[in-house]
């Protein structure tokens, strides 16, 4: 169960790195901090977040490599965050495939999933950076980032929110049927129904994102047929909804 054990630090280089460097760690262990001095995002980017204003945490889980859950993790984790912060859907918090959480095209939450395989088991560290009360962002991301406080106009209690996100992670990962989670993810996914560009075998290609499969891979319709895409990133070009 996620959150069965818990550590809090006022400051850390990064919560993912902290967990990755532990010799032994019990599954479900959560580490949370108010400030990261070397927070990491996907693709080698830095993750910058003002001290004490956001949710910055990581947890560890063990998954059998043969289990489809491993490839579905981006879907399951981003769906959990969406449902925790916007249970009714009133804020229109959406997923951007594979695992960004966005609202009105701006990023609300980034998720960094890193796994190391030992035999038939993968030890997975999941890091979540959720913009909560930060209202001003660095100039380079100002136009593309948002926070819950900006969306709702009111400050949000980070401790209560952390509890809600962890509850939702436990529910989606351990109690919701995979097919139902995929269906709910698709209903929230802003990538589906878009023209997207993506890298495939060194070439930039373009197609219509039409769905995701049971392993969380994006289905993209091209002139030659439907491609099952398991890369890590697509660019949204336009909506045709």
Residue nearest to ligand BTN (CB): 110
- Taking the least distance from each CB to ligand BTN, the nearer of 19 and 196 is 19
CB of 112 to ligand BTN, least distance (A): 4
| 163 Cβ contact partners less than 8 Å away, ≥ 6 residues apart | none
CB of 120 to ligand BTN, least distance (A): 27
- Taking the least distance from each CB to ligand BTN, the nearer of 96 and 207 is 96
CB of 119 to ligand BTN, least distance (A): 26
Q: What angle do CA 209, 213, 214 make, to 5 degrees?
A: 160
- Taking the least distance from each CB to ligand BTN, the nearer of 47 and 229 is 47
- Taking the least distance from each CB to ligand BTN, the nearer of 112 and 151 is 112
CB of 61 to ligand BTN, least distance (A): 15
- Taking the least distance from each CB to ligand BTN, the nearer of 119 and 139 is 139
Q: Which residues bind ligand BTN (CB under 6 A)?
A: 14-16, 36, 39-42, 45, 47, 56-58, 100, 110-112, 127-129
Strand ranges across the sheet with 6-12: 6-12, 30-36, 55-64, 121-130, 106-118, 100-103, 93-96
- Taking the least distance from each CB to ligand BTN, the nearer of 10 and 240 is 10
CB of 221 to ligand BTN, least distance (A): 26
CB of 20 to ligand BTN, least distance (A): 10
Q: Beta 106-118 vs 100-103: how paired, if at all? A: antiparallel
Would the CA dihedral through 162, 163, 166, 168 be positive or negative? negative
């Amino acid at each position: 169960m996620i959150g069965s054990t818990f550590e809090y630090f006022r400051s850390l280089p990064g919560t993912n790195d902290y967990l990755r460097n532990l010799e032994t760690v019990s599954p479900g262990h959560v580490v949370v901090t108010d400030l990261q001095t070397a927070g990491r995002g996907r693709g080698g980017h830095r993750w910058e977040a003002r001290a004490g204003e956001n949710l910055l945490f990581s947890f560890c889980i063990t998954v059998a490599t043969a289990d489809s859950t491993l490839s579905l993790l981006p879907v399951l984790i981003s769906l959990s965050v969406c449902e925790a912060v916007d249970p009714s859907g009133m804020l229109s918090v959406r997923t951007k495939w594979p695992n960004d959480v966005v609202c009105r095209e701006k990023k609300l939450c980034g998720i960094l999933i890193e796994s190391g395989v030992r035999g038939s088991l993968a030890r997975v560290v999941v890091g979540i950076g959720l913009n909560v009360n930060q209202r001003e962002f660095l100039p380079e991301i100002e136009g593309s980032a948002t926070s819950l406080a900006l969306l709702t106009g009111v400050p949000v209690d980070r401790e209560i929110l952390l509890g809600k996100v962890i509850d939702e992670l436990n529910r989606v990962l351990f109690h919701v049927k995979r097919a139902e989670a995929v269906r709910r993810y698709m209903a929230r996914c802003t990538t589906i129904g878009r023209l997207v560009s993506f890298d495939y075998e060194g070439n930039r290609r373009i197609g219509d994102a039409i769905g995701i499969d049971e392993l969380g891979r994006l289905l993209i319709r091209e002139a030659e047929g439907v491609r099952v895409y398991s890369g890590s990133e697509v660019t949204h070009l336009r909506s045709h909804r």
